[in-house]
Structure 1
Amino acid sequence: MAVPLDQKLEALPPERPLAMPVQDLRRWPGGPTPLQNLKRVTVARILVFGGSAIITAIGTYGMYQVISPANITWLQMLFATLFALTFAWISFSCASACFGFLLLLLNKHYAPKLAALADTGRTALLMPVYNEDPERVFATLERMGRALQKQDAGQHFDIFILSDTRKDDVAKREVACFEALQKSFAGKMKVYYRRREQNHHRKAGNIADFVTRWGGGYAHMIVLDADSDMSANTLITLARAMAADPSSGIIQTLPLLRNRWTPYARMMQFAGRVYGPVIAAGLSAWHGRDGNYWGHNAIIRTEAFAEAAGLPELPGRKPFGGHILSHDFIEAALIRRAGYAVYMLPDLGGSYEETPPSLIDLAARDRRWAQGNLQHMKIVTAKGLHWASRVHLIQGIMSYLASPLWLALLLTGLGLATVARYTKPNYFPDGFSLFPAWPVFDPELALRLLGVTAFVLYLPKVLGVIIALRDPQMRKGCGGTFGLIKSFIAEIFLSMVLSPIMMMIQSRFVLDIFSGRDSGWNTQNRDEQAAPFKELAAKHAVHVLFGIGFGALAFMISWATFFWFLPIMGGLALAPVISWATGLPAVGRWLWRANLFRIPEEQETAANSQIKAEAAGALLQPAE
């Protein structure tokens, strides 16, 4: 493969290397340097962890009452255990969101200390790319650069395009775009381009290559994704916040979703915009200075990254061995281990990314993420990690194990219902007894438990809507009170039918990974061209069969069981239709006209222009 060499491009500054030693996960000479969290963080942790424990205990005790305490079978015990695990997962999210809601309701915003812009040193804006559309990527970088220049901050930031592109035709376009951007910014802002000959360790290796070659010339680096966009105010505030906090290692923003028109993407954008602030406020509260990193739209202290974040190869074969895929969680954990703070500024704003346009596109990306997160099973016990970092790793693991656990819970529930329907009760299981062991199943308690589960599952969304309704600008941007409530109801319904499909997809991922299948590294689809229905029908064929099977078995048990499982069965049986319809940009534009799934970042004039546009790839240009 012909790869343009750095020397030919003459596009790079003199190297200022930083040593980046590979970290040892099995040994740690001493504990991390203590970082003093404020008392409010301790209070948040007590309330969130304690609250989730109480909610889980209530739900598990309710399940114990529903099944037969007099004669618990192994199937009932399995069902109760699976319920406890899945209920604990949603209980923790609920407790965290409740605390975030309380903070927002009381208007508890904690602004960071900021240094003067002149004291921030130099910050590198890193844009790693891998076979991406160069025109789109460079247009975003130009917009960000122009915005920084308007704030008289261009001289404090340099742009680096770090290419791992393997396609020579795409690389040629990258070089052409780079030369145009460099010429456009001549004398006002520095722009550099580097294409690696070997894309060792993928994105993590791409960033590490920058650090070991040029990291010594930059106090900080802001890592972007190919679909990232950040306002000038946000970039400047991050640099000023890190300069004012010498113990900080990573400061993470809350990236909001935007720029998509398919119904699936618009639903995700609405959910992230309305529910996201409540969730982020809760996470930030109990994370404190022991937080996490999502791999992009964050500022990193370059020296801390070089000192602590050199990633080792994991022992064993892929998919669990080899280089670390989900490197961001591990980098945050290692930087925190070294004594630097990792935290989030959830109120900062001005940080954006894009979501995959369809369910199938999300699944393609999710396969790699699933493997990366399950790899963390080998790392969660690494020496010297802060306990909060271990919790972050466990949460990432559970985000994918939750789907097969949910599937196992449903299958076990159907098994219990089948046994109850077709098995004659044994009233004297232990031989002679004066009193029979009556089978116990209280339908009233079961319905009450279902209500409690639904309450815990949907409460964070309700709280997000309440906060949005209290904000006039937010309320107006979401289509007014009626539009916001309509969108909330539509999101609940759409996520309800999509959830069982995603459950099956992620369960298959987990099965593949434990079977030893590696995900590879594929380019993410960022176009909104809908997939043909025939292709989707083939990909969802197994889901349809499962849905029909669920329905047939539930119907054989009873009408009541059938209706209990109807949302799950319906979502699976109609998976190709749902996947196809939610991936059509035309339907998304119709939803916009119907005042559904709007978000404040969309200007009405820009949106009307987008609706009239014939080009499928036209994008909204939000205000700076």
Structure 2
Amino acid sequence: MPPPASRPDAGAARPDTKAAMPPEAPLAMPVQDLSAWDRAAAHRPAGKTRSPWAARLFVFGGALALTGYGGWQMVETVSVSGSPTALQLVLVVLFCLTFSWIALAFTSGLLGFALLLRRKRPEPVPTALHSRTAVLMPVYNEATARTFAGVEAMREAVEATGLGDHFDWFVLSDSTQPDAWIAEERAFLDLRHRLGPGARLYYRHRPKNHHRKAGNIGDFVTRWGGHYDHMLVLDADSLMSGPAIVALAAAMEADPDAGIIQTLPLIINRNTLFARLQQFAARIYGPVIAAGLSAWSGRDGNYWGHNAIIRTRAFAQSCGLPDLPGKPPFGGHILSHDFVEAALIRRAGWAVYMLHRLPGSYEESPPSLIDVAVRDRRWAQGNLQHARVIGAAGLHPATRQHFATGIAGYLASPLWLCQLVVGILLVLQTATERPDYFGGAGFSPVFPRFDPVRALQLFGLTMAVLLAPKVLGLILALLDGPVRRACGGAGRLVLSSLVEILLSALVAPVAMVIQSGSVMGILLGRDTGWNPQRRDDGSIPMRDIVARHRWHTALGLVAGIAAFALATSLFLWMSPTILGLVLAIPISWASGQLGLGLALKRRLLLATPEEATPPEIALRAGALAARNAAQGLDDADALEALHADPALAEAHARMLPVGLSRPRGAIDPDQTLATAKICEAETVAEARAWLSPKERMALLHDRALLDRLVRLN
């Protein structure tokens, strides 16, 4: 149970419902030492917990055995003409590395399939809570129409459970664009006004987005975390039903040793071709992988950064992230903070696990291949950066496995690419090398070659292992009557899976080359930065698509011509990869097309149950987003809005941090220029024309300059 002072019935100071933020209740969040750990300081679990050793033995032992068998078959394939050459041994090693990755997914999927065959009745919605939870939505230059619609819809859904008094709602802004910042404040003030004095809705904008999302959450914890037993962390595109949110809070109350409880978010509201592929795959295949992961991870699980509930004090005590030595991409602040936070809170003795069966957790996904590649570049850097953390003192072995799996996931693409290159070199060697007339028995010439029968068998094994999790997910969907009917029936469900497999196979070579380039760039020291994610449906201009993929197309053409010139068999072996690269531009164009996605949707292809019967929370959020969009807040100019509404300017000034000032002698050039320009401007039109985005942000942080802006003509 939480300490008495943190409960609402124990005299804790209730937040001021009229202020933009409640009174501060600081929690210390010490920076953690990755090089040392005192186990005596860890939380001691209240009861004994069982390790899922049998599940881990099955998953990892099975993957190891399968990889060993595949490696042996590869050695036999390349050893037809005697002992394998050095280049052939390189091919064997690369094959084992890439095969082990898909073998692990296969065995984990088998375990998940077995668990999901056993249907469980849904848990009843809790009727009472004794703790307080802060629901946090961090935003970074997002569309306010959508984010505030999501907050409003979720708040309504929680209030409908009768337990709304146990939840406070926070929009935590790290936005760096002036128009986005003022749009957020206008949306916040409008929603607070409509909800009334008991809204328990708050908003905070950070002057500097130090350490990005991790810093955003950390700032909340260190300043206001003392008010709350738990915090439910969302993303800007997150949606959760009221019963799901209440169930997470109840799960935390019921398990005093839980530090983080993660849900499995389903993708919804997607309509472009590529986004619908992701949505279908996540809905049909995702539960199989998630169930297996949850089974072998047990209480040593992982955290994906959103749609999860966290014990606030445990997080504060154990999850202060250090900066890594050196410069980005491997040094500096930790980019993929969620894995590391899970590792540190688990190191401190708290359990981390997933409720993969809990319904009502949703998210969205990027609309096109290029948008996914942009996000994936950031994830690649964050996961590879974990190589600096995986050896930290005191980590649980399962935690190190999570890090290793994340790193391997991004090394798989360059390893696959290297495997293709080595295969080409071997074929070239076979075509050009003179036969060894003295190595064979009976003076028969010996050519370096492959065993075609074993090679075909090995290819079949690889495809079976690769596609098995998808087939298992499809079987489960076919066995589930409501899911099967919602997806258009058995025939359309099978056809949808075939469409997904075909299109994914065409996308895979392009994704491989893109990801390999990202990994190479990271290894060469190129930092990705952090750009806001594009979430809306819509296509990318063709010139941008051509610029992004012209080298992929050229690579496919060169590889195809070279392979055909060397050997027809090589060309046929590489044809899926060649075809995907040659068609990179039209594939990328099609991926972002709304019309193609909607055409499939009308024919009930790539359909999901959430499309047939949309969740109530999604329908409500969609209606609220349409209403918010009609107000045009996201289209308004920040300076114009403040100038036209002195009350808004006054409210904005009240929400600015108090006591922030630059040190004497430290001149801020943006503020200095903003001061000069706003003092010289006679109209708001001149101010808009003269001020750069950074100067606008400086103006928005300065009460005196705001007053000058309001008084312009």
* Bin for the TM-score computed over the shorter chain: over 0.9
Matches within 5 A, 1:275-314: 275-314=285-324
Residue range with higher mean Cα deviation, 150-159 or 379-388: 150-159
Aligned match of 1:518: 527
CA distance in 2, matches of 1:500, 1:294: 26
Indicate conservation of the 8 Å contact 1:251/1:300, yes or no.
yes
Who is 2:418 aligned against?
408
Q: CA deviation at 1:215?
A: 0.4
2:582 to 573, 598, 605: 573
Aligned match of 1:95: 107
Which whole-Å deviations, capped at 9, do the CAs of 1:233-283 have from their partners, x for residues lacking one? 110000000011000000000011111110100010000000011111100
Task: Check whether the contact 2:300–2:352 (CA below 8 A) recurs between aligned residues.
Answer: yes
Question: Aligned residue for 1:473?
Answer: 482
Give the match's secondary structure for 1:408. Answer: helix
Shift of residue 117 of structure 1?
2.6
- Structure 2 distance, partners of 1:404, 1:618, is 46
CA deviation string 1:277-324 (max 9, x = no partner): 111110000000000000000000001100100000000111100000
Is 2:209–2:215's contact at 8 Å kept on the other side of the alignment? yes
Question: Is contact 1:114–1:244 with CA below 8 Å preserved after alignment?
Answer: no
* Greater mean deviation of Cα atoms: 439-448 or 385-394: 439-448
* Residue 568 of structure 2: aligned partner: 559
1:317 aligns with 2:327: yes
Q: Secondary structure at the match of 1:339?
A: coil
Helix, strand or coil: the match of 1:540? helix
8 Å CA contact retained: 1:115, 1:241: no
* TM-score between both structures, scaled by the size of structure 2: 0.81
Instruction: Describe the shift of the 1:244–1:176 C-alpha distance in structure 2 as closer, same or farther (beyond 3 A).
Output: same
Q: CA deviation at 1:170?
A: 1.1
In structure 2, relative to structure 1, the CA distance for the partners of 1:110 and 1:199 (3 Å cut) is farther
5 Å-filtered alignment, 1:605-616, equals none
Q: Distance in 2 between matches of 1:354 and 1:72?
A: 49
Is 1:255 the counterpart of 2:265? The answer is: yes
1:80 and 2:66 correspond: no
Q: Look up the equivalent residue of 1:57 and give its one-letter code.
A: G
Post-superposition Cα deviations, 1:532-558, rounded to whole Å, max 9, x if no partner, equal: 222201110110011112111210122
Question: Any conservation in 2 of the 1:145–1:189 contact (CA below 8 Å)?
Answer: no
1:156 aligns with 2:158: no
1:486 matched to 2:498: no
2:454 maps to which residue?
445
TM-superposed CA distance for 1:182, in Å, is: 1.4
| Counterpart Cα distance in 1 of 2:614 and 2:478 | 23
User: What residue number does 2:61 align with?
Assistant: 50
Output the amino acid matched with 2:463.
Answer: A
CA distance in 2, matches of 1:276, 1:341: 23
Deviation at 1:604, TM superposition (A): 6.3
Q: 2:353 — aligned with what?
A: 343
Distance in 1, matches of 2:486 and 2:429, equals 52
1:358-507 map, 5 Å: 358-428=368-438, 439=448, 441-507=450-516
Larger radius of gyration: 2
**1:587 matches 2:596:** yes
Deviations 1:360-399 (A, max 9, x none): 0001111111111110010000000000000000111111
Amino acid in the other structure paired with 2:523? F
Identity %: 51
Once the two structures are TM-superposed, the CA of residue 122 in structure 1 deviates from its matched residue by: 0.6
Aligned residues of 1:380 and 1:390 also touching (Cα < 8 A): yes
Cα offset, 1:224, TM superposition: 0.4
Shift in Å, 1:594: 1.9
Q: CA RMSD in A?
A: 2.5
Deviations 1:563-610 (A, max 9, x none): 111111000001000000121001101011122111111146999xx9
Given the superposition, is the C-alpha separation of residues 433 and 27 from structure 1 closer, same or farther in structure 2, using an over 3 Å criterion? farther
Q: Write the mapping of 1:21-40 to structure 2, written as runs, cut at 5 A.
A: 21-30=30-39
Mark the runs of 5 or more structure 2 residues left unpaired by the alignment: 1-15, 629-713
Partners of 1:402 and 1:337 lie apart in 2 by 28
8 Å contact from structure 1 (residues 155, 189) kept in 2: no
Measured at CA, do residues 48 and 40 of structure 1 come closer, stay the same or move farther in structure 2, by a change above 3 Å? same
Q: Distance in 2 between matches of 1:76 and 1:34?
A: 52
Q: For residues 540 and 438 of structure 1, do their structure 2 counterparts lie closer, same or farther at Cα, with a shift above 3 Å needed? A: closer
Structure 2 SS opposite 1:315: coil
Deviation at 1:434, TM superposition (A): 8.3
In 1: Cα distance, 2:158 partner to 2:279 partner: 26
The reply on whether 1:41 has 2:41 as its aligned counterpart is no
Query: Would you say the 8 A contact 2:437–2:443 is kept in 1?
Result: no
The yes-or-no answer on 1:271 pairing with 2:292 is: no
Match of 2:184 among 166, 174, 177: 174
Amino acid across the alignment from 2:566: I
Give the Cα separation in 2 of the matches to 1:533 and 1:34.
58
The worse-fitting range, judged by mean Cα deviation, of 91-100 and 517-526 is: 517-526
Aligned to 2:78: 67
Which ranges of structure 1 fall in alignment gaps of 5 or more residues? 1-6, 620-624
Distance in 2, matches of 1:500 and 1:186, equals: 54
* AA aligned opposite 1:48: V
The answer to whether the Cα contact below 8 Å between 2:435 and 2:446 also exists between their aligned partners in 1 is no
Task: Give the secondary-structure state (helix, strand or coil) at the position aligned to 2:138.
Answer: strand
SS of aligned partner of 2:285: helix
CA distance in 1, matches of 2:121, 2:259: 19
Alignment of 1:235-250 (within 5 A): 235-250=245-260
2:171 alignment partner, SS class: strand
Change (3 A) 1:283 1:549: same
- Displacement after TM superposition at 1:332 (Å): 0.0
Aligned mates of 2:48, 2:302 — CA distance in 1: 15
Q: How far does the alpha carbon of each residue in 1:33-81 deviate from its partner, in whole angstroms, 9 at most, with x for none?
A: 6767865722111111111111111111110110026222111011000
Amino acid in the other structure paired with 1:595? L
Q: Which residue is equivalent to 1:597?
A: 606
Structure 1 residues 429 and 317: alpha-carbon distance in aligned structure 2, compared to 1, 3 A threshold = farther
1:212 matches 2:222: yes
Q: Tell me the distance in 2 between the aligned counterparts of 1:618 and 1:555.
A: 58
Partner of 2:668: none
- Where 2:39 maps in the other structure, the secondary structure is coil
Q: Could you say what secondary structure the match of 1:193 adopts? A: strand
Identify the range of structure 1 (63-72 vs 542-551) with the bigger mean alpha-carbon deviation.
63-72
Distance 1:185 1:418 in 2: 72
- Give the equivalent residue in structure 1 for 2:653: none
